[in-house]
Structure 1
């Protein structure tokens, strides 16, 4: 149900975004939301084309007087990250989101909102449905499966596109224009451990970590947000006679892990001391973690365990967690201090019935600069006898400060808002790099309204940035 105080203007954009929040759209399950777009295009009489991957292009002729203007590609992705808090009952495959407006922000009830990239999609559709918009010929490109590895863009049939100008609406800071993004890749690791029966006199426990903020592993990696995997490994290290039974932490390669559990056994009588150690660790961690992680909890409760790793393999696994790199690895020497050049996210760790699975992704602007990090991780994999499956990588988008589209955007921004925008590159995997590699002649500019907490249950959209974003988009198209 739409909140009573749901934003009203611009009406077309906000209505389309609301519909997006009511249609489930996890990665690889974009059929329903794509049908929504197809129905709108059919109603408007616009031609559509879809490739074998499921990427969709809607062709919108130029408005009166703009028919012969250069064609502009408007690019967004259909899928959203699906993360919720443990106390929230929500099925992202079937349930609509429950929206909330609070203190000028639009969010969802303990789930991701999907403003990344739903608000950009809504703006693109509004260009088609709002008769007052003056625009050149448009190719509205909606890609699929962005959040789980940019699969839609990687497999896009670029022959569907003719435009040589492109506006990507997938960045998250208003009054900033983006002209570059990081590339990335990653790995999946696995190995098998033998298990043994748990001694009758041993204590069995479950450790739960919750309350961390989590977030986007690209644009928030410099914030030094707490990692549930790292803290879990640190918390278990002091348990005498530790034997790990199971671990379940993390949800996706591009999400900083915010909560998880581990079950284990330890020496009889060790539980009370371990609880004190965990409380001391929590107090230390809150002392150095950012304020967003101040709700960190570490809960230890008795459980039942039948089989576990032995002590040697358990400590070996904790050593792997401690040694595995995580976070920002290098900062840009020319851009502002918060622009990360290289980062890595230790994203997922699972241990079940002796089977270990680990997933990690890394980002870079210059892939050559990331080679030492890659070599370090692969050396760890060899040292810990891990099988390695590389994930498909994607190229970065190298900044072009001489872009005519950039200059046009800067001049217009200053005219409309009284100051030039910040021009930046982003340490996240926008699809722009992939699309540029497929269409080298395209001139790209990226911008969007302000979003905070992307890829986490605190994701929220700053309402008063949407109207100026929309006006800027409309005027830029009117002047092309």
Structure 2
């Protein structure tokens, strides 16, 4: 991919985005991207503050003649989800992303793109560096560790902010104006199993399920995508009448990602390999009959393995673990009557199942608009963990953002969206954990709105940014800033 083929306008936004794509920025390791932003601020003699959590706030004076306008915060996060396909060699802590343009979409070569939330961060930096943008005094807020649980926003020192209006640029459907988001709650559960030596007549094989779409556990949970953890467990249960033992199970990458791949190291009778392949084919046919189009690339492999410890669970513990995985809730639990097509009120994602050397770790997360509605689902999950003798801890707990239909900022943003698109803006809530809810809990006087260009496949290697939506997104941001500066 040559640079000349990449989109170039609006110039400041794309320049900053391409620089961000060169900088490794996994969650918890945002030092390099923070340094890049600080360098930009220092080149312009701008003040900035870094709080003890690692969040950065850059203070941008108002455009000349607009000093009397109220300060506006523009908020984004610095980190990105780091997911790649199994055949892609990429070190997210060292390597730049390899960008490509395909049919009007910007994507990366078999990795996440980081448009979530890199394009929003680039837009905020463009507002800082493009002298043609008219704006009030700005507080550019860049948080850390959003993708692992909104920990940056939770730890933000709110005394660094004076703004009473905030624009969040972390939503992913151009033309829609977001005025609410889901809260989140999550668990990590563990258990140690006793391990024994594998039967010497059984040989190690790696079972690998891949080809599912995966994706964002909030934005795409309504699509009923396959969960690799549960599908692999189903297959292994299908084979429970055969002679085999389980050494390891690995599936999923993070609490906010729908598991797209899973593998198990099993010890089987080589004479039964044909039966295993037959069961895998049967399972594939069963699932492909109802999985959505995005998951029709599902595939299996069964290969002899040399990477084995020959230490396995007992048959009873094997079956107990598999029963636990298929018993766990996953997917949309309740839908909104206001937005029945795509808005889920309550969901659960069985995100990670990891069994190594007899140590089991499970991560599962909930999203909700009404915290009261979560009680039944919490009881179900907690009692499943108790029944299967797992130790449990809460690893996520953040508030939602309740829609404010009387918001003056929302009305202004909706008016400008209509001006740019020629169509009436759709006011929506999103089944994802934006940082707006947390920041509002710290500064209840803040008026908040969120919008962004179109992104699809966030949190998966198929993440892509619709190029044609970026320029009008930028136009909307600059027109809104100009109106707020008046």
Could you say which TM-score interval applies, normalised by the shorter chain? over 0.9
1:309 to 304, 313, 318: 313
Distance 1:175 1:162, change over 3 A: same
Within a 5 Å distance, the mapping from 1:257-268 to structure 2 comes to 257-267=259-269
Cα drift, residue 2 of structure 1:
5.5
Deviation at 1:45, TM superposition (A): 1.4
| Residue of structure 2 equivalent to 1:415 | 419
Q: Residues 268 and 88 from structure 1, CA distance in 2 versus in 1: closer, same or farther, beyond 3 angstroms?
A: closer
d(CA) in 1 for partners of 2:268, 2:315: 9
> Structure 1 residue 268: deviation in Å?
5.9
CA distance in 2, matches of 1:103, 1:368: 44
Whether the 8 Å CA contact 1:346–1:360 is kept in 2: the answer is yes
Question: Are 1:109 and 2:109 an aligned pair?
Answer: yes
Aligned to 2:254: 252
1:267 CA drift (Å): 4.8
Name the counterpart of 1:382.
Answer: 386
Q: How does 1:232-243 map to 2 (within 5 A)?
A: 232-239=232-239, 240-243=242-245
Contact 2:353 2:362 in 1 (8 A): yes
Once residues 412 and 95 of structure 1 are traced to their aligned partners in structure 2, the CA distance between those partners, rounded to angstroms, is 39
2:420–2:472 CA contact under 8 A, matched in 1: no
1:398 corresponds in structure 2 to 402
**Cα deviation per residue 1:293-332 (whole Å; 9 max; x = unaligned)?**
1111111122355121011111111110110011111111
- Misfit runs of 4+, over 6 Å: none
Q: Flag structure 1 segments of 5+ consecutive residues without an equivalent.
A: none
* Superposed counterparts of 1:181-196, under 5 Å: 181-196=181-196
SS where residue 163 of structure 1 aligns? coil
The CA deviation string for residues 117-173 of structure 1, in whole angstroms up to 9 with x for no partner, is 000000000001001000011000000110001110000000000010000000000
Shift of 1:236: 0.7
Question: Counterparts of 1:223 and 1:355 in 2: how far apart (Å)?
Answer: 32
**Alpha-carbon distance in 2 for matches of 1:242, 1:69:** 71
Moved more, 287-296 or 167-176: 287-296
**CA distance in structure 1 between the partners assigned to 2:52 and 2:125 by the alignment:** 22
Say whether the 8 Å CA contact 2:246–2:265 is kept in structure 1.
yes
Q: What does 1:205-354 align with in structure 2 at a 5 Å threshold? A: 205-239=205-239, 240-267=242-269, 269-303=271-305, 305=308, 306-354=310-358
Q: Is the 8 A contact 1:3 1:101 kept in 2?
A: no
Q: Distance in 1 between matches of 2:188 and 2:346?
A: 19
Q: How does 1:13-32 map to 2 (within 5 A)?
A: 13-32=13-32
Question: The residue matched to 2:90 in structure 1 has which SS?
Answer: coil
Question: Scaled by the length of structure 2, what TM-score is found?
Answer: 0.97
Mapped contact 1:2–1:99 kept (Cα < 8 A) = no
Displacement of 1:202: 2.3
Q: Hey, what does 1:479 align to over in structure 2?
A: 483
Are residues 21 and 268 of structure 1, via their aligned partners in 2, closer, same or farther at CA, if it must alter by over 3 Å? closer
Residues 3 and 99 in structure 1, CA contact (< 8 A), matched pair in contact too: no
Look up the match of 1:373: 377
Provide the secondary structure at the position in 2 that maps to 1:70: coil
Q: Which residue of structure 2 lines up, in the alignment, with residue 61 of structure 1?
A: 61
Do the aligned partners of residues 113 and 232 (structure 1) sit closer, same or farther apart at CA in structure 2, a change above 3 Å counting?
same
In the TM superposition, what is the alpha-carbon distance from 1:65 to its structure 2 partner? 1.8
Pairs within 5 Å for 1:35-50:
35-50=35-50
Whole-Å separation in 2 of the counterparts to 1:268 and 1:8: 57
Secondary structure, in 3 states, of the residue corresponding to 1:330? strand
Distance 1:39 1:303 in 2: 49
Which residue does the alignment assign to 1:155?
A: 155
1-structure distance, mates of 2:225, 2:396:
26
Q: Cα offset for 1:420?
A: 1.2
> Equivalents in 2 of 1:262, 1:295: separation in Å?
20
Give the alignment's Cα RMSD to 1 decimal: 1.1
On the 8 A contact 1:238/1:274 being kept in 2, the answer is no
How many positions carry a matched residue from both structures? 480
C-alpha contact (below 8 Å) 2:59/2:137 kept by paired residues: yes
Q: Taking structure 1 as the reference length, what is the TM-score of the superposition?
A: 0.98
Secondary structure of 2:110 counterpart: coil
